[in-house]
Structures are given as C-alpha cells and as structure tokens.
Amino acid sequence: MDIRPMPFDDPDAVKLNDAVQLEYAERYGDEDGDGEGDLTPLDASMFVPPRGLYLMAYDPLGRPVATGGWRTQDANDEGYSDGDAELKRMYVVPEARGLGLARRILAALEADARAAGRVRMVLETGTAQPEAIGLYTSCGYEPCAKFGYYREYPNSRCYAKAL
C-alpha cells in the first residue's frame, strides 16, 4: 500500500470523505436526511502542513482505500488544550479493513504532529464505532474530558495520547 500526503479537497479525498460520512449516518442516524454524518466544520486549509496533515492510502491498483488527518487545536471554548493535534477522518474502505492501514496512518500522523511541535493527539469517536475505540485504546489512547463539536452528545467518546 502506498500512503501519501494529499490535500483534503482532492477528488479522491472527497470520495472517501463522502463514504465515511455515509457510514457515520448509517451508524448514528441521519436525522435531516442529507447523508451527512459528522457535522464538525472542516476545510482543506486545516490540514496544510505544518498545522496539519491529511494522508491517503492507495492499493496496488491505484484505488484510494484509507484516509486520516490531523489538524492543530489550541485552548478554546470547545475544550481543547494548547498543543493539541486533533485526529480527523480516519477511515478504511470495508474491503481493505484488517490490513493494518489504520495503524500505519495513525502512526504516521502521530509522528508528523510530534514533529510539528504538538504535544497531545486527541480524537472523538462514538459508541457505534467499537472497532475504532479498540484501535485507539490498543495504540495507547486513554479516555479524556470531552471536547469538540459533539462534546455534549451522550454517545460521544473522547480519547487522548501524549506525543
């Protein structure tokens, strides 16, 4: 598998972002019927180095199969702390799951955020994603105080790891 930096608004990134949004809507419900799962505001500028990074994995046939990114966060009214790097849009297409891609992308994102001077990686997931929770806890993430767009939602779970 080929893992490389990619702009968040690249057509392949948009394709996989649309896929993960549909999966979020399926797992958590789509109250307004728009197919949007995660309503956290994101734009491509948030993932431009050195304030973030977006990675994509491609299979040997050149098909996009996994994504993940981090963006800079600092102390604000949504519960972030100075030095945070927030993990966003970790996703592996169903046919590529179980190949270790999420772990590889996660490790690369952690290394990049550390090199950019970030001191803690944080992420928000939910109770309908037990495989994500399993991945993060097995990689050293621990529950932390809730932050971000979904901090008031009961099925939201937040995790952090010192970099």
- Tens of pLDDT, residues 113-161: 999 999 999 999 999 999 999 999 999 999 999 999 888 888 899 999 9
Question: CA 42, 141, 66, 34 torsion: positive or negative?
Answer: negative
CA 76 – CA 83 distance, rounded (Å): 11
Query: Domain 2-162 is of which CATH architecture?
Result: 3-Layer(aba) Sandwich (3.40)
- CB-based contacts of 28, cutoff 8 Å, min separation 6: 37, 126, 128, 155
User: Taking the model in full, what pTM does it have?
Assistant: 0.93
- Of 29, 98, 25, the closest CA to residue 66 belongs to 98
Domains in the chain: boundaries: 2-162
- Tell me if 24 sits within 8 A of 78, measured CB to CB: no
